[in-house]
Structure formats: C-alpha cells, structure tokens
Chains A and B, each alone.
Chain A
Amino acid sequence: MSRIAAQSIRVRRAGRTILDDVSVSAGAGEFVAVIGPNGAGKSTLLSVLAGLLKPDQGSVSLDHRQLADCTPRELARVRAFLPQNPRCEWPLPVHRLVGLGLTPMLPAFGDFSAADVARIDNAVDACDLTAQRDQPVTTLSGGELARAMLARALVADPAMLIVDEPLTGLDPRHAQDAARRLQQLAQVQGKLVIASIHDLNIALRRATCIWALREGRILAVGAPAEVIRPQLLRELFDVEACVCGSGAQAFVDFAP
C-alpha cells in the first residue's frame, strides 16, 4: 500500500452535512495531522478513510482499489484504527490486549502460535510496556494505556495507521512521547500515519502534512509551516495567534 485518496466525500447525518466535498490524499512515510475546531468533521473523515463509515457521496481508494470493494478483514490487515479514548471493557492482561490486534490474521479457533507470541512481545517491547506485560489493562495509567493501544494497533504491522485524537488526555510528557512515536512510524518505518491532533505545536513540529478542516470542508492542505499561519488559524479557530520561530523551534501562541 502506498497511497490513500478520498474524492469528493460527502457525509450527511440527521439532515446535517458533516463532510462536504472533501478530497484529500496521502502516501507512505507521511504523518498527516488533521486539525480543526470541535465539530469540524475530523472524526468522521478518519472513519471514512478507515473504511468504517460509508460516505453518502464520493469514494476512497487504496492504491488502485476502491475501499468499498475490500472486505472488512482484508482492510483490517493493511490499516489499523484507534478511536478517541480507546478503552478495554474487560481487565485483560496487556499482552492479551495487544494480541487482539492480530484478530484479522487468526483462524476462528485456537490460541496464539509461537510466531504470534513473538510479534506480541515485540510490539509490547517497542511500546515500552515490557514491565506491564501481564498487568490487567484496567490498572494501567493513562499514558500506559495509550501505549498499550498503540501496541495493539501496531502488532499486525499495518501499512496505514489512523488515530483519532491520540494525544487527548495525556500529560505533556506522554503527549510528546506519543507524538514522537507516531512521527517515527511514518519517517523511520515508512508507514502512513493519519491522526487528528489539537495540539498545534506538536502538529507543527512533528507532522509532515496538515489537513485543516472547518465545518466539513477542507480549508487548507500542505506542509505544517505553510498551513499553520496566523491568518489560517484565525479562519480556522476564530482566535488571534502568532507563529514564532521556525523548524524544530517553531511554536504557536494565542493572544489573550
């Protein structure tokens, strides 16, 4: 998989247009940050791209295949999806939770093979959860849970990762950590990462591409330094902001 492309997506729910004529595309190695105010349609767009929601109009293609033609299981093998505030309803041990990410590869019955266990352990290690491997998920801290969910999403080695607000509810250290992991997935491992992000500083410094969404429409698409500018932020969020510095030192500040 190298490229996902959405064409003229329109989604209406209960008489309200949630996405209106949205066309975006992204490819392997990119870390796309979807920004925009609450209710802009970010989550809906991510659901459509993940193939979980059928748009009323328009289509999404994965390379040269239409998303609508893929079975849920096929799709599950190439992309991983994490919703907002992912939770686990039962107190599973961490490695069991991570193992759930292998569901689309497993036969209907039977326990994990040795190879599966090795993949799970790798994912657990990669997300620095080795010490928590056997701990019940319900006893994890917020940061640990976010890492466990990320490990769950990565264990099957998907080409595309779609994450809805992965940083919400994390303290600064954990938020930075999570963003760094997403950045590395794209830039080091060559995956396509699409995440909705509220923290503009993180988007500015870590993402390779920004999609700015307002009231269901794409307002701007482009490299972070080009998109995250005072004028666009005013249009997008109705706030006065200044963008200072450049490159890794760039940051956004808001006027009181």
Chain B
Amino acid sequence: MKGKYTVSLWLAGGLLLLALLSMLTGRSGFMTPGDLTGALQGDSRAAELTRLILVELRLPRTVLACLVGAALGLSGAVLQGLTRNPLADPGLLGVSAGAALGAVIALYTGIGMLFALAVPMLGLLGALAAATLTLSLGSGGGTLVLILAGAAVSGLMLAGTALVLNMAPNPYAAYEITHWMLGSLADRGWDQVWLTAPFILVGAALLLGTGRALDALSLGEQQAASLGVDLSRLRRRVLVGTALAIGAATAVSGTIGFIGLVAPHLVRPLTGHQPARVLWPSAMCGALLLLLADVLTRLLPLDRELNLGVLTGLVGTPFFIALVLRLKRVAP
C-alpha cells in the first residue's frame, strides 16, 4: 500500500516545523532559536516578557490552530464521505454559521457571562441544529440539493445572527461580531484551550470512528446497509461529532471557511480516495493549513492583522471554483 503511514509522517513533520515557526513568529518580528534559548535562561525583564509571550500566548495559539484546523479538516473529510459529495464542508453546509449563531447568542444575551462553558456549548447547539437541518433538507437529492440546502441554512443562521445583533443592548455588537466572524486566533490563551479542547477531542474521536462505515457508504446507501452499516446511527454520529468539533472550534476562533473543503482534496492524491484513509491525514492537513494561515496573518506587513477567515477565503474560493468547474466537466 502506498504509504498510509508515510503520508501521516510527512504531515506530522510539516506540522512540527510549522509549530516551531509559529512559536518564533510574531507581528513584531522573528525570534531566532538563539533568542529563544537566551530568553528561557535569562532573568532580565526582557527575558521574562519573552517567556510570557512564548508560554502564555504563542504556545496556546499554536495549540488552538492545530485543534481548530484538525476539527475543520476532519469534519470536512467526514462530511464529504457521508454525503459522497466533494463539495461538502462545515462552512458550505451551514454548520459554521450555526455555531456562530449559537456563540453570538451566548455572547450578547449575557449567557456567556454566567459561565465560561456557555459559549462553546451554545456554539455546539447551533452547529447541531444547522447540521441536522441541512442534512435532513438535502439528503438523497444529490450534490446540488445538498449545496442549496447548505446555502439556505447558512442564510437562515446568518439572519438569526443579524437579528441577535440588532436586539443586542450593545450598539457596537455588529462591528465586534463582523470582525469576529472573519476568524482569528489572536490574543487567545490557555483558558480557551481548556474550554474547547475536550469538545474538539470528543468530537474528533466520534468522527474518526466513522471510517469503516464511510468506506461502505462509497457503494451507496443500499449496499452500505447490506454490509451491516446502520445508516441512521452513522448520520447521528457524524452530526454530533461535527457539532462538537465545529461548535467548539467556531466558538473560540470565529468562522473559518474552506479548510474543511480543501484539506481532504489535498490529501486524497497521496492516500487514495477511500474515505477512512482520508480522515486522519485530512485532520493533520487541516491543522497544517490553519497553522500556516495563522503564521501568515502575523507575517504580512499590514497595519492590522489580517483575519484568518479572510486569508482562507482568499485562497479557498479559487479552489472551490476549480472544483466546481471540474465537477461540471465530469458530471453529465
């Protein structure tokens, strides 16, 4: 078999390199590894500040980029496998918009101030509602129907978000949230890691366990059922897993599109098209892509930090268009 583990090892290596780069990169410039060791040993005020930046800011930010990116890449791969649709992605299916709606409700009604878990939990509920709606509207209708259902649900969730913002007592809510929805990992800390990691990890565990069923599903629903796959249980599992992972990821990072779409396509030429073999590499590829995007937002010489969602959108949309064009050529 052409390297299932080889691909994972390459991805892990790339991930480690990028993580190191992410630790060394700030908007105020690069640290050399020498600076790094110097800072870790010295006890001047400057060394203390550098330590704070590394341990309390860059490390949690790097960890979050990996977690969120993996959540996106993995859910994209699983959703593409479940719907047998190469255009499926948490963003396009409205799951991210649903998560955003949940998080916005928590943030602006004050529920989020009651207890810290409220934001990821409402994000999860929003994602679950959106995913359920899209998949029940769009199931069995082919690629086009599913994408349309996703667009409709996205629209509904965005309208809900706008409604919450209109009714929010805070007049600057719309500005804040417009910015937040573009996605960012700036200024995050360990608090956010502890808050979201359990959700993402449980969601990812659920999703990684769907591989065998997704494989069987590539033969269509009837054959999969004849092979002993319980389709409604599979759907529930994917819904809950995606909602856990994407709900929590969106609550901490805002909406970040296209990583879920692109990551599986990038790894398929290396792993083959069998859905189960795409899952884990796609999660790693998603982490890699988001980490890369996050490092880029810090490197680009702009007055203001570019939002992650803007960057992924700029790169992801042409990819999406290319996919659509290819589908148009392949499909009758």
Contacts and interface: CB of A to CB of B under 8 A. Distances in A.
Q: Touching in the complex, A and B, CB below 8 A?
A: yes
Interface of A: 47, 50, 52, 71-77, 79-83, 86-93, 96-97, 100-101, 103-104, 106, 108-109, 111, 152
A196 to B, nearest CB: 14
Contact of B227 (A47, A74, A103): A103
B222 A100 contact: no
B228 A73 contact: yes
Interface stretch (B18-26, B103-111, B212-220, B314-322): B212-220
B1 interface: yes
Contacts of B219: 86-89, 97, 100, 152
A106 B226 contact: no
Interface in B1-46: 1, 4
Looking at A89, A90, A101, A104, which has the most chain B CB atoms within 10 Å of its CB?
A90
14 contacts: A72-B229, A72-B230, A75-B228, A76-B226, A76-B228, A81-B223, A83-B223, A88-B219, A89-B220, A90-B84, A90-B218, A108-B212, A111-B4, A152-B219
B239 to A, nearest CB: 19
B274 A83 contact: no
A89 B84 contact: yes
A89 B1 CA distance: 21
A82 B211 contact: no
Given A103-B216, A109-B211, A80 B274 contact: no
Contacts of B215: 100, 103
A89 B218 contact: yes
Contacts of B275: 90
B273 interface: yes
A4 to B, nearest CB: 15
Nearest to B224: A103
Question: 10 tightest A-B contacts by CB?
Answer: A76-B228, A81-B226, A73-B228, A90-B273, A89-B84, A104-B228, A83-B222, A103-B227, A72-B228, A103-B216
**Size category, B interface:** 20 to 34
Looking at B84, B216, B225, B229, which has the most chain A CB atoms within 10 Å of its CB?
B225
A76 B225 CA distance: 9
Contacts of A50: 226
Contacts of A73: 228
Contact of A86 (B1, B216, B223, B274): B223
Contacts of A106: 212
A83 B220 contact: yes
Contacts of B273: 90-92
A68 to B, nearest CB: 15
Contacts of A90: 84, 218, 273-275
A96 B220 CA distance: 15
Interface in B193-223: 209, 211-212, 215-216, 218-220, 222-223
B227 A108 contact: no
B1 A111 contact: yes
Interface string B146-175: 000000000000000000000000000000
B203 to A, nearest CB: 17
B212 A96 contact: no
B301 interface: no
B249 to A, nearest CB: 24
A75 B230 CA distance: 12
B212 A86 contact: no
